């Protein structure tokens, strides 16, 4: 699995000192992952979605769609 979170400066210095290969880090992948994680965080603010209050898949999808639409309109 490729790393998507950058390494800390002290860890990079230790790798250089030990002459190890640094982990690959892709800034574009990290940005996209950050957007997705922020979206999930905003959706979890809705109690019904976070606790999976609606047990039927259709209703749960409708709740996610409604919450996503409202989040998109307020952003």
Sign of CA dihedral 52, 54, 60, 65: negative
Record the pTM. Answer: 0.59
How many CB atoms lie under 10 A from the CB of residue 8? 9
pLDDT of residue 2: 65
φ and ψ at residue 52, rounded to 5 degrees: 55, 50
pLDDT truncated to tens, each residue of the chain (75 aa)?
A: 566 777 788 877 887 778 777 667 778 888 888 888 898 899 888 888 888 888 889 998 999 999 999 999 987
The CA–CA distances, whole Å, from 55 to 35, 39, 46, 64 equal 27, 22, 15, 13
pLDDT of residue 67: 92
Burial 9-36 (b: 16+ CB within 10 A, else e): eeeeeeeeeeeeeeeeeeeeeeeeeeee
């Amino acid at each position: 699995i490729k790393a998507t979170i950058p390494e800390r400066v002290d860890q990079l210095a230790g790798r250089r000192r030990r002459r190890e290969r640094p982990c690959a880090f892709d800034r574009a992948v990290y940005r996209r992952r950050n957007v997705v994680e922020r979206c999930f965080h905003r959706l979890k603010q809705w109690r019904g979605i976070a606790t999976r209050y609606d047990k039927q898949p259709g209703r749960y999808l409708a709740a996610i769609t409604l919450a996503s639409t409202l989040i998109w309109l307020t952003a």
